[in-house]
């Protein structure tokens, strides 16, 4: 087992960068283009709040699907587990993340899980607030508190593009309205979903979310229990089974701790009781995961012995 240092991370970033050639940068996220193809950055934060980073760790990008764990956290906090999972399931899917066919084919009254688009839209529809502005402000406020970053904000350009190109998500939402799976105002729920996807972050922000999870929902800085540990355990279990689209099984085996990716090429990882991990590698594969970032995640887990199942083997 190796020791976590900036030099080790730098070495691993150099080793993994070539894997970015196996992926492609998503074309319809404004601000991300071919010049980002070879970028790769990582930040890891330990339980003493020590920050390690390497590569393009300061790059700015939007949360995209990684925000699905934030919406779930808010819905669990607002309604509790029982009520949330009456509206969304907790089973892995096996179809593409923005699949519509699964909703009809399985005659589902609720989407499979909160990590696929249909599920995340249903979860966003549950977030409390008197209007759209207040709902989004609540999400931002929670994220700012968790990351200690008061400058976190919406990337307006990405948000406008999400709205403009969001017909697939609109189809999912209106289909769910037709089956009664969503009873809330559809346009408002979609708008909130688009906004949450478009929050701009760096790998440090992601690592801070990860370490907050690793600390069971308690702030490392102030000791405040912001979200109940039970809810964090629920979210981490769902990240493990569904967080990496249709590669969740591979990541459970090769990485062995909860992770959630987004199509901007980002990944949030949480090693319970040990580390928060934030990665950006904008070139993604056909399944939606960063190619270089995924490789880096696997190497980090191996070198630092982070697979949570390996604890059992050591005794
Ligand atoms: N904005 C994308 C969508 O809603 C996010 C998808 C993702 O990151 O998986 O389709």
Domains within the chain, CATH numbers bracketed: 6-64+200-304 (3.40.710.10), 67-197 (3.40.710.10)
Q: Residue 266 to residues 1, 43, 60, 197: CA-CA distances in angstroms?
A: 26, 11, 10, 12
pLDDT score of 313: 60
Among the options 26, 201, 259, 263, which is catalytic?
263
Residue with CA at minimum distance from ligand 1 atom 9: 65
| Spatial CA neighbour of 295 closest among 286, 305, 285 | 285
Distance 285 CA to ligand 1 centre (A): 14
In the structure encoding, which two tokens stand for residue 30, read together? 């404004």
Please classify residue 27 by burial: count the beta carbons closer than 10 Å to its beta carbon, then call 0-12 exposed, 13-18 middle and 19+ buried. exposed
**Amino acid 202: pLDDT:** 98
State how far the Cα of 55 lies from the Cα of 265, in Å rounded to an integer: 14
Ligand 1 midpoint to CA 192 (Å): 13
Is there a catalytic annotation at residue 19? no
Count of H-run helices and E-run strands, the chain: 14, 10
d(CA 175, CA 265): 28
* Each residue's pLDDT tens digit, 26-78: 988 998 888 899 999 999 999 999 999 999 999 999 999 999 999 999 999 99
Cα separation values, 229 from 5, 62, 148, 195, 300, Å: 29, 27, 20, 27, 26
Q: Which helix (H) or strand (E) holds 154?
A: strand 153-154
What are the pLDDT digits (tens) for 173-209? Answer: 999 898 888 878 999 999 999 999 999 999 999 999 9
Active site residue 245: yes
Residues in the chain: 315
Q: Which atom of ligand 1 is nearest to the CA of 264?
A: 8
Catalytic residue, chosen from 39, 68, 110, 260, is 68
Give 114 Cα–ligand 1 centroid separation in angstroms.
Answer: 13
Residue 275 annotated to the active site: no
Sign of CA dihedral 120, 74, 198, 37: negative
Q: How high is the pLDDT of residue 46? A: 98
**How far is Cα 175 from Cα 178, in angstroms, rounded to an integer?**
5
Of 245, 255, 270, 277, the catalytic one is 245
Cβ neighbourhood burial of 277 (10 Å; 0-12, 13-18, 19+): buried
Residue whose CA is closest, atom 6 of ligand 1?
65
How far, in Å, from the CA of 68 to the mean position of ligand 1?
9
The gap from C-alpha 208 to its chain's centroid, in whole angstroms, comes to 12
Nearest C-alpha to atom 2 of ligand 1 is from which residue? 64
Sign of the CA dihedral running 20, 22, 26, 31:
positive
Distances in Å between the alpha carbon of 195 and those of 38, 87, 237, 255? Answer: 27, 21, 25, 30
Q: Provide the pLDDT for residue 184.
A: 81
- Going from the Cα of 265 to the center of ligand 1, the distance in angstroms, rounded, reads 11
For the four alpha carbons of 242, 243, 244 and 248, in that order, the dihedral sign comes to negative
Known catalytic residue at 25? no
Q: How would you label 50-85 residue by residue, b for 16+ Cβ within 10 Å and e otherwise?
A: eebbbbbbebebbbbbbbbbbbbbbbbbebeeeebb
The torsion angles phi and psi of 266, rounded to 5 degrees, stand at -95, 160
Residue 189: its H or E element: helix 186-197
- List per-residue pLDDT tens for the chain, 315 residues long: 899 999 999 999 999 999 999 999 998 899 888 889 999 999 999 999 999 999 999 999 999 999 999 999 999 999 999 999 999 999 887 677 677 776 666 556 788 899 999 999 999 999 999 999 999 999 999 999 999 999 999 999 999 999 999 999 999 999 989 888 887 899 999 999 999 999 999 999 999 999 999 999 999 999 999 999 999 999 999 999 999 999 999 999 999 999 999 999 999 999 999 999 999 999 999 999 999 999 999 999 999 999 999 976 655
CA distance 164 to 21: 29
Label residues 192-218 b or e (16+ Cβ within 10 Å = b). Answer: bbbbbbbbbbbbbbbbbbbbbbbbbbb
Q: Which is the catalytic residue, given 97, 193, 251, 275?
A: 193
Lining residues, ligand 1, CB within 6 Å: 64-65, 97-98, 117, 162, 169, 197, 262-263, 288
Instruction: Give the count of alpha carbons within 13 A of 228, CB side only.
Output: 11
């Amino acid at each position: 087992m190796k020791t976590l240092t900036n030099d080790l991370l730098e070495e691993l970033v150099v080793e993994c960068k070539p894997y970015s050639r196996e992926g492609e940068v998503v074309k319809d996220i404004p601000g991300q283009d071919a010049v980002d193809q070879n970028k790769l950055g990582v930040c890891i934060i330990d339980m003493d709040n020590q920050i390690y980073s390497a590569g393009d760790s300061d790059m700015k990008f939007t949360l995209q699907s990684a925000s699905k764990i934030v919406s779930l956290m808010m819905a669990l906090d607002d309604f509790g587990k029982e009520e949330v999972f009456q509206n969304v399931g907790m089973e892995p899917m096996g179809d593409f993340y923005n699949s519509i066919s699964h909703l009809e084919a399985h005659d589902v009254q609720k989407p499979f899980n909160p990590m696929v688009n249909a599920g995340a839209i249903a979860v966003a529809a549950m977030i409390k607030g008197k209007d759209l502005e207040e709902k989004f402000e609540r999400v931002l406020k929670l994220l700012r508190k968790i990351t200690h970053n008061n400058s976190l904000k919406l990337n307006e350009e990405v948000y406008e593009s999400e709205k403009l190109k969001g017909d697939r998500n609109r189809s999912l939402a209106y289909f769910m309205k037709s089956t009664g799976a969503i009873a809330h105002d559809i346009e408002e729920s979609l708008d909130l979903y688009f906004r949450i996807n478009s929050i701009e972050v760096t790998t440090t922000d992601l690592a801070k979310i990860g370490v907050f999870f690793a600390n069971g929902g308690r702030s490392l800085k102030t000791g405040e229990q912001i979200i109940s540990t039970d809810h964090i355990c629920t979210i981490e279990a769902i990240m493990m089974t569904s967080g990496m689209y249709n590669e969740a099984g591979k990541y459970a085996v090769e990485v062995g701790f909860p992770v959630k990716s987004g199509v901007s090429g980002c990944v949030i990882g949480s090693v319970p009781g040990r580390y928060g991990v934030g990665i950006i590698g904008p070139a993604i594969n056909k399944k939606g995961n960063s190619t270089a970032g995924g490789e880096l995640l696997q190497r980090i887990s191996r070198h630092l012995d982070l697979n949570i199942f390996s604890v059992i083997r050591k005794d």
